[in-house]
Structure 1
C-alpha cells in the first residue's frame, strides 16, 4: 500500500524556544518591524513552499501562493492571538490560501493537465533512468488532477479528516473519499509504470 508520511507536530524541547522566539518576532512585526517579519519569512517559507508545491502541483504557482500567504499573514498579524504556535497558524493560513486558489480555478482551467507536472514522465536523468523514488513520487503527486491532488495532500500528508477536506473544498465526504481513492490509484499506476 502506498503511504505518505504525515508531518508530526513538533514536541522537542527546542520547540518551546522556537515558539517563544516566533511570538517575540510576531509582536515586533505587528508593530511594524519589517525586519522581524523578514525573519519569520526566513524561518517558515521553505516548509510552507513544500506544502504549497504539493497542493498546487506547480512550482511557479506555489511561489505566488507563498507570497500571497505572507501578505495575508502581514495583514492579519494584529489579530494573532498567541493561542497557538505562529508556525501552526501560518501553515493553516497558507493551506487556506491554496484551497481558495483551487476553488477559484475549479472551472476548465483546474481540469487541464499542467505540462510542468507531466514532465516527470518524459524527463529521464543524465543516466537515462530515475535517480530516486522520492523525486518520482513528488512529480507523480504534482501530475494528479487538482482536486485529487488536494485531497491526497490534505489527507495523507497534512493529516486532515475527510470531513475537514469536504468542508474546505466544498464537496461531499464521499467525494473526498472517492478523490483520495482516485489519487492513490493514479499514483500506483504512474509509479508502477515508471519502475517496471
Structure 2
C-alpha cells in the first residue's frame, strides 16, 4: 500500500529516469498478464501521481487516494493500447490529472450552484494560514485554501507545467478564463503567505 502521509516531490532526477528505462518491458509483461510487473509499475509511479492528485484535491488525502485508485484502474484497462508515444510516467500522470479533474468538475458544479460565479466569495470564510516564514508546508496549506478551480489552474500551470490551452480544454473553460484564474490564484496565494502583491 502507498504511504500517503507526505506527498512526493515533483522533480525527477536523472537517476529516476534511468530507473524507468525498463518501463517498456514492464508494460509488455503486465499486458501479458504478469501482475508482479504491474505492481512494480504502480510502486514506481504512484508517489509522483499521488503528489499532484493530493494538490489538486486540496490536500484531502481520501479524495486523492480515490483518484489514484481510479487512475491505476483506468491504466490497467488501457495498458494494452499504450503506444509508447510518451513515457509511461507521463501517460500515468495525465490519467491521474484527468481523474482528479473529473472530481473537480463535479465539485465545481456543486460549488457554483451554491456560491454563484466562481465561488470566490468562499474565501472570506477561510481562516488565514499559520505561517513560519516560507516553508513548503505553508505553501501546501495555502494551496488548500484556494477554490478548487483556481487551485487546479495554479497547480497545473505553475507546478505541472501545462499550457493554458491544455488547462482550458481539461477544465472546460476559455483560455482567457484560465489566465484570469491563474492571476487571481497567485494573488490569493501571495496574500495567504503574507507576501506583497
Q: Into which bin does the TM-score normalised by the smaller protein fall?
A: 0.7 to 0.9
For 1:192, what is the secondary structure of its paired residue?
Answer: coil
1:183 — aligned with what?
185
Taking structure 1 as reference, are residues 105 and 68 closer, same or farther at Cα in structure 2, changes over 3 Å only?
same
Cα offset, 1:56, TM superposition: 1.3
**Aligned residue number for residue 4 of structure 1:** none
Q: 1:186 to 1:18 in 2, by over 3 A?
A: same
SS class of match (1:179) = helix
CA RMSD, Structure 1 to Structure 2 (Å): 2.6
| SS of equivalent to 1:144 | coil
Identify the residue that residue 35 of structure 1 maps to in structure 2. Answer: 36
Which whole-Å CA distance do the structure 2 matches of 1:38 and 1:90 have between them?
Answer: 14
Pick from 44, 65, 68: which aligns with 2:67?
A: 65
TM-score, scaled to structure 1 = 0.80
Question: What is the deviation of 1:120?
Answer: 7.5
Task: Work out the CA distance in 2 between the residues paired with 1:119 and 1:53.
Answer: 20
Check the 8 A contact 2:128/2:192 in 1, yes or no: no
Q: How far apart are residue 109 of structure 1 and its match?
A: 4.3
Q: Deviations over 1:142-169 (max 9, x none)?
A: 2210000000011101111111111111
1:69-116 residue CA offsets vs partner (Å, 9 max, x unmatched)? 0110011111011222111111111111111221122222476869xx
Evaluate the alpha carbon distance shift between residue 143 and residue 162 of structure 1 in structure 2; reply closer, same or farther with a 3 A threshold. same
Query: Cα gap change, 1:132/1:184 in structure 2, threshold over 3 Å: closer, same or farther?
Result: closer
In structure 2, the residue corresponding to 1:72 is in which secondary structure?
helix
Higher relative contact order (CA 8 A, sep 6+): 1
Distance in 2 of aligned mates of 1:9 and 1:42: 15
| Count of residue correspondences | 177
Q: C-alpha distance in 1, partners of 2:194/2:73? A: 40
CA apart distance, 1:179: 0.6
Matched residue SS, 1:82: coil
Unaligned runs of 5+ in 2: 1-9
Which residues of 2 match residues 1-196 of structure 1 at below 5 A? 12=14, 15=17, 17-57=18-58, 58-109=60-111, 121=129, 130=132, 133-192=135-194
Q: How far apart, CA to CA, are the structure 2 residues paired with 1:80 and 1:20?
A: 16
